């Protein structure tokens, strides 16, 4: 079993005729995703890789292929509209890879999502993968993943890959891996994904990777303390970052004491989370936790 996506997921890719969209659509299909459609305005009537139809609108694609998940590779200026288009067409799971979307645009999208049964992963994220289901919708390297029972949720794309690489080398497989994105405003949060892992009978334990900036980790700590019952280990990166300096991600900006790595670690530790001291120890700490 997996969370959010699986063998029944029918994937479409918005921006499938672009360089990034076409490359990762092909990689996702090769990994096992059921790629049923692509969408690029003005390119309707074409085929991707000879067999996947391309449509002008998401509504057309959903109507003809029953697609229920969308992977978005659309330039920043148009990405918010692309997300809304998928929502309006009835798509249930959306992963927006696009980086650099204006925060005000994302705020409007998140408000539009309220009270709708839609899961938005990202923006500025690597996407989602469930190795046991042979399903990938995102930009992560599929070959490093191993089917198993450890859930992974992270704000950082590259550290998601690092965590998975270490787990796989130790023979610890993954149920589902989700990159929630590094922007200050995003669709799903740590709490959203942790709730799904808590309710997934095929996820036994979790690795969580946070970073400086914002309060998403503290919110996760509150949820873990009161409602999460599975072993969980967490890494907070950016421990040596100077205050007020942006460190790569738009969300990785220390604004007040709550955004500091130490505050996040303290909150998680108080909730019973095993703290991972550095990126090189992710696999070892989890192995100790579950052994």
Is residue 118 located within the same domain as residue 196? no
pLDDT in tens, 5-24: 999 999 999 999 999 999 99
What's the pLDDT at 257? 53
What average pLDDT is seen over the chain?
Answer: 93
Strand order in the sheet with 135-138: 135-138, 127-130, 174-179, 147-154, 205-211, 232-237, 274-276
Indicate whether 129 belongs to any domain: no
pLDDT at 116 over 90: yes
What's the pLDDT at 173? 98
Indicate whether 95 belongs to any domain: yes
Number of domains in the chain: 2
Full residue range of the structural domain in which residue 243 is found: 140-291
Is residue 185 located within the same domain as residue 275? yes
Is residue 147 located within the same domain as residue 276? yes
Domain boundary among 68, 96, 124: 124
**CATH number of the structural domain spanning residue 146:** 3.40.50.261
Indicate whether 175 belongs to any domain: yes
pLDDT at 122 over 70: yes
Of 88, 41, 80, 97, the closest CA to residue 62 belongs to 88
Indicate whether 130 belongs to any domain: no
Is residue 200 located within the same domain as residue 81? no
Mean pLDDT of 155-172: 96
pLDDT in tens, 70-104: 999 999 999 999 999 999 999 999 999 999 999 99
**CATH number of the structural domain spanning residue 19:** 3.40.50.720
What's the pLDDT at 119? 98
Mean pLDDT of 200-220: 94
Is residue 106 located within the same domain as residue 153? no
What's the pLDDT at 243? 63
Indicate whether 153 belongs to any domain: yes
Indicate whether 97 belongs to any domain: yes
pLDDT at 164 over 60: yes
Domain boundary among 73, 95, 124: 124
Is residue 246 located within the same domain as residue 147? yes
Of 68, 71, 67, 39, the closest CA to residue 55 belongs to 39
pLDDT at 246 over 60: no
CB 70 within 8 A of CB 12: yes
pTM of full prediction above 0.85: yes
pLDDT at 252 over 70: no
What's the pLDDT at 249? 55
pLDDT at 219 over 50: yes
Indicate whether 264 belongs to any domain: yes
pLDDT in tens, 171-189: 999 999 999 998 989 999 9
Mean pLDDT of 215-228: 96
Question: For residue 273, what are the CA distances in angstroms to 128, 203, 267?
Answer: 23, 17, 9
230 phi/psi in degrees, rounded to 5: -110, 155
Mean pLDDT of 113-123: 96
Indicate whether 99 belongs to any domain: yes
Is residue 77 located within the same domain as residue 172? no
pLDDT at 263 over 50: yes
pLDDT at 256 over 80: no
Is residue 68 located within the same domain as residue 159? no
Domain boundary among 124, 151, 176: 124
Is residue 116 located within the same domain as residue 3? yes
Tell me which of 24, 143, 145, 249 is the catalytic residue. 249
Is residue 261 located within the same domain as residue 218? yes
What's the pLDDT at 7? 92
What's the pLDDT at 254? 46
Does 249 qualify as catalytic in the annotation?
A: yes
pLDDT in tens, 24-74: 999 999 999 999 999 999 999 999 999 999 999 999 999 999 999 999 999
Is residue 154 located within the same domain as residue 83? no
Is residue 242 located within the same domain as residue 287? yes
């Amino acid at each position: 079993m997996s969370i959010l996506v699986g063998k029944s997921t029918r994937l479409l890719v918005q921006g499938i005729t672009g360089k990034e969209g076409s490359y990762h659509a092909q990689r996702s299909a090769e990994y096992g995703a059921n790629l049923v459609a692509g969408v690029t305005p003005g390119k309707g009537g074409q085929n991707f890789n000879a067999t996947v139809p391309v449509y002008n609108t998401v509504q057309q694609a959903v109507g003809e292929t029953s697609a229920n998940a969308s992977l978005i590779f659309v330039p920043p200026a148009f990405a918010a509209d692309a997300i809304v288009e998928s929502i309006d067409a009835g798509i249930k799971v959306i992963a927006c890879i696009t980086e650099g979307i204006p925060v005000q645009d994302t705020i409007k999208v998140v408000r539009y999502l309220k009270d709708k049964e839609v899961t938005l992963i990202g923006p500025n994220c690597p996407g989602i993968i469930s190795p046991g289901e042979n399903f990938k919708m995102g930009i992560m390297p599929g070959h490093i993943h191993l089917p198993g029972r450890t859930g992974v949720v992270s704000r950082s794309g590259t550290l998601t890959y690092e965590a998975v690489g270490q787990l796989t080398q130790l023979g610890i497989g993954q149920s589902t891996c989700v990159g929630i994105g590094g922007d200050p405003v995003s669709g799903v949060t740590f709490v959203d994904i942790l709730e799904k892992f808590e309710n997934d009978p095929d996820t036994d334990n979790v690795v969580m990777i946070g970073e400086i900036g914002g309060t998403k980790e503290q919110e996760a700590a509150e949820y873990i303390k009161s409602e999460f019952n599975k072993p969980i280990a967490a890494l907070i990166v950016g421990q040596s970052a100077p205050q007020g300096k942006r460190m790569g991600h738009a969300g990785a900006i220390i604004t007040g004491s709550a955004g500091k790595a130490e505050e996040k670690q303290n909150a998680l530790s108080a909730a019973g989370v095993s703290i991972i001291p550095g990126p090189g120890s992710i696999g070892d700490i989890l192995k100790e936790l579950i052994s």
